[in-house]
Structure 1
Amino acid sequence: MTDRVFNALSQHAAQSPEKTALRSGTRCIAYRSLAAFLVQNAKTLAGPARVFGISTSDPLDAALADLALTYSGHVSVHVPPFFSASQQAHLIESAGVETIIGTSQAPVTPLVLCPPEACPPLTTPLDPPVAGARRIIFTSGSSGTPKGVLIGESQMAAALAGLEKAIAPVREDIHLSLLPVAQLLEQVAGLYLPLLAGAEVHFCPEALAALFGGPMAPIVAAMASARPTTSILVPALLSRLVSELRTTATQAPASLRLIAVGGARTSPALLAEAEALGLPVHEGYGLSECCSVVALNGPLDARAGTVGRVLDGVEVRIDDGEIVVSGPTVMEGYIGHPPVTGEWRTGDLGRFEEGRLIVEGRKDWLIVTPQGRNINPEWVEAALCADPRIPAAGLYLAPDDQLEIIAVLAAPVAPAQIEALLSDLPLYARPSRVRFAPASQAGLLKPGGGIDRSQLAQLSRMLPCFPISHDMKECVA
């Protein structure tokens, strides 16, 4: 992976030296400056492979650190700014982080890289990168304890090759980076893939706040100024973007050709409204354990209701309803655990339809009601999350065998409105009560999309409940 990406970067620096590679606000880094940055900091980073943490809320600085560490053959570990202090401490300790680029309260050695603006000009092509770079991606999954996923060069190379064929990036692309660089998906598809093509990556620092309920106006402004061709969103951010465009009577830039969305189930109603506003949204599916992308609806080969075709080079089979992935994108393993060999059982339920993958929910989240009904909670939750005021929701079977739903609110919603949003569901899948939690509650929203389900039981005990009445029309199974 590093040879191909950095060889391409060297060619871009020689052939289009002043073309913008990375941009954030008034900072603009050309390909020639980016190459000089890598060479200059390779001197600082020379030596045997070490484990470096990257701790910054500035996405451009995070991207630069990631590129420098990868070029120099080290192990990079992003310390997500949205992790709690205890989660960050667990990450640093379990990964064996020796040095931090950025700021941290942990007792580790700090390192400051020479910024591109201060690096001497490069007059020769880039040397080949140091082989063996790896990255540890911490994902909390369905629990609050982050797990370190070890991704090597071979996994990154395979994911990039598959995405390159599915997305067909070109040098004229402008990728608007809205997800945190700490997320593997943004690293692969939002940083390395555009740079491989000689495209521009435009960062929006305000997107992190928007992801957790902050204002959306800066994202709409970034879209208007950058005129992007591609971007990546999670459903909650898509819902809020749709609402902002609708409220301000704004149409999405005509330059957009692909917005990939994943991380949680997306409501068909939300996808339809996004399309009406000029947002070319295409669902995909993946997980960090398989280098983030397994399947994707490409710009010219999309089908609603599916997550698209499996990437080239990746193999997927369905075993007793479960999605099982094999091939070169499967992780090396979790740190501190035995290496992974062969297949990876995702824990997700799915099926194929005319060659396209349909994801039906998490196997271990399946709710079996006392009446014997099987309910995938994401199906019910997506009905609520079509409303931009509800960035996430969690369906829960309470100890009294009653279904209830925790609605995470970015703006006030009445119980009657919850009832209306659920009205198209069959009666057996409709919760009998709702509880409301604020989107500002620390750790409740996951940046990859959805709610932290490890908190549902506690929220059910703590929050007041409101009954939901339903029309007793005949249930449609």
Structure 2
Amino acid sequence: MQPELQAFRQRLEEYARQQGERIALRGASERYSHAQLLEQVQAREALLQKQPPGVLAIALDNGPEALFWDLAALFGERPSVILPPFFSPAQRAHCLLQSQATLALAPAELHEELRELGFTPGEPFWQRPATADAGLPPGTAKITYTSGSTGTPKGVCLSAGALLRVAGELERASRPAEPSSYLAVLPLAVLLENLGLYAALLAGAGVTLLPQGQLGISGASGVDWKRLLGCVALSGAQSLILVPQLLLGLVSAIERGLMRVGPLRFVAVGGARVSTGLLERAAAVGLPVYEGYGLSECASVVCLNRPGERRPGSVGQPLPHAQVRLAEDGEVLVRGATLLGYLGEPLFTGQWWPTGDLGHFDADGYLYLAGRKKNQFITSFGRNLNPEWIEAELTQGGVILQAFVHGEGLHQNLALLWPLDPQAGDGDLEQAVQRCNAALPDYARVHAWRRLPQPLSAAEGTLTGNGRPRRAEILERYRNELFSLVTE
């Protein structure tokens, strides 16, 4: 057992002995003390040990049951994958097939999908034999799938040591604020939230883990703000992890007097770039927000602003477990807690991971990000998207000839469209968009669009000579048309 994993187990055992009756975990209707939490995890670990080796797939909603199984797999040294609730059926199938998962835990609405993939029902697992070697790198504890920037999610393989080094640093970073209660807002499948829970458990904090629907969150970007804000207030949470769009809702609610900052002491925000204006608004209402930066390939968090070490506009200084330097072109390179490799691809044997992000340091070592090197953008909900994927879907339905999609830092994906038939009406374009959206996971759907006044062309400087869009030129030319589509 890796030393970080052993230390995590010992910490939970210590809390069970010393604070056994204190509430450690709250669900929708359940409560578990520190001693009961450990008992529940150990019981599931024993069940897993009776099964043949293989990957455990967890497709459960947020709640104590999902956390118990996640920890049982971790301590039992069985590789696991938590399936994001916002993935499409095709993406879930890809994850299960690529990982060669032999055990699965899923709600009733996914049982038919499991049957079609060769699983048979059992108690408590759905099971199937492995049909091929998944090629898991040795030491893989968790496979975390990206949002699917090209439509096909990539499996990032991480060791328990890497995961728990980051969780430990998150716990230490928040320690000056002394938060004793934590509310999980993001899906457990989001690595940032997964490690946030580990950090709270390491700290001995009381954790509230509610189903996403009870929180008012649906899919990748649907939010019932009244329900979510009510849960934050009623939970008594002193610590949260948010993506920028959720931070915006929280700040707006406080500004309008709909809720108070209350007991919140440490609100970490990551997953996408946070505007300086939003950080200033948070500071003005007294919300203790700490922006950070990370990526799945580096076991989530790499840099973080911390109490007493905060520089608004930056993503903070590197955490102690990580080293960060810049390539000649300004690309951010990271060493420490990096992935073992992508599933199905050669092992990562290098020292420095190229993040694809551009940035610079100030004189005090705070990192500032300038954007992505490539076309991929990140929505304000933290979902990675490649616009070429969505554009291809839009233009393969026989109605739309050209499409340009933009969503960097936004809660909506916006599109500029030109029809195959110039005489086609806007109703035809709307129907084509809806058909396309029906086949896409919700975070990749087009939320608003506008008809181009003329087709994109090389002559106008909006296409390259081989027909590819010149993105910067298109965005500059049609910026007003695009951003007029954004709604709050």
User: Partner residue of 2:186?
Assistant: 179
Within-5 A mapping of 1:63-462: 63-103=67-107, 104=110, 105-106=113-114, 107-110=118-121, 112=123, 134-168=141-175, 173-189=180-196, 191-205=197-211, 206-207=214-215, 208-209=217-218, 212-253=221-262, 255-319=263-327, 320-327=329-336, 329-341=337-349, 342-354=351-363, 355-365=365-375, 443=440, 446=443, 452=444
Residue 464 of structure 1: which of 451, 473, 479 is its match?
451
Q: Secondary structure at the match of 1:294?
A: strand
**Which amino acid letter does the alignment assign opposite residue 198 of structure 2?**
Y
Q: Secondary structure at the match of 1:202?
A: strand
Q: How far has the Cα of 1:165 moved from its partner?
A: 2.9
Q: Secondary structure at the match of 2:85?
A: coil
**Which amino acid letter does the alignment assign opposite residue 326 of structure 2?**
I
Distance 1:109 1:343 in 2: 43
Q: How far has the Cα of 1:199 moved from its partner?
A: 1.0
Contact 2:273 2:409 in 1 (8 A): no
Q: How far has the Cα of 1:322 moved from its partner?
A: 0.4
User: Partner residue of 1:56?
Assistant: 60
After TM superposition, where is structure 1 displaced by more than 6 Å over at least 4 residues in a row?
391-396, 398-404, 407-411
Distance 1:257 1:75 in 2: 34
Distance 2:264 2:184 in 1: 13
Distance 1:350 1:224 in 2: 36
Q: Secondary structure at the match of 1:365?
A: coil
Q: Relative to structure 1, is the Cα distance of residues 36 and 323 closer, same or farther in structure 2, using a 3 angstrom cutoff?
A: same
Contact 2:56 2:80 in 1 (8 A): yes
Residue 10 of structure 1: which of 9, 13, 16 is its match?
13
- In structure 1, runs of 5+ residues without a counterpart are 115-130, 367-376, 386-390, 414-434, 447-451, 471-477
Contact 2:105 2:124 in 1 (8 A): yes
Q: How far has the Cα of 1:407 moved from its partner?
A: 9.5
**Which amino acid letter does the alignment assign opposite residue 41 of structure 1?**
R
Q: Relative to structure 1, is the Cα distance of residues 469 and 20 closer, same or farther in structure 2, using a 3 angstrom cutoff?
A: closer
Q: How far has the Cα of 1:240 moved from its partner?
A: 2.2
Q: How far has the Cα of 1:241 moved from its partner?
A: 2.4
Contact 1:307 1:356 in 2 (8 A): yes
Bigger shift: residues 335-344 or 274-283: 274-283
**Which amino acid letter does the alignment assign opposite residue 32 of structure 1?**
A
Provide the aligned length of Structure 1 versus Structure 2. Answer: 398
- Normalised by the length of structure 2, the TM-score is 0.72
Q: Relative to structure 1, is the Cα distance of residues 297 and 98 closer, same or farther in structure 2, using a 3 angstrom cutoff?
A: same
Q: Sequence identity, in percent?
A: 34
**Which amino acid letter does the alignment assign opposite residue 9 of structure 2?**
F
Distance 1:270 1:392 in 2: 21
Distance 2:252 2:230 in 1: 15
Q: Secondary structure at the match of 2:66?
A: helix
Q: How far has the Cα of 1:346 moved from its partner?
A: 0.8
Distance 1:63 1:301 in 2: 32
CA displacement 1:137-180 (0-9 Å, x = unmatched): 01035321100000111211321233233222788611110010
CA displacement 1:27-77 (0-9 Å, x = unmatched): 111111111112222321115542010011233322121011112221111
Q: Secondary structure at the match of 2:234?
A: helix
Contact 2:88 2:441 in 1 (8 A): no
CA displacement 1:319-373 (0-9 Å, x = unmatched): 021011112x10100011111122211111111112011111110128xxxxxxx
Distance 2:100 2:387 in 1: 37
Matched, 1:37 2:40: yes
**Which amino acid letter does the alignment assign opposite residue 104 of structure 2?**
I
Q: Relative to structure 1, is the Cα distance of residues 393 and 139 closer, same or farther in structure 2, using a 3 angstrom cutoff?
A: closer
Distance 1:232 1:140 in 2: 18
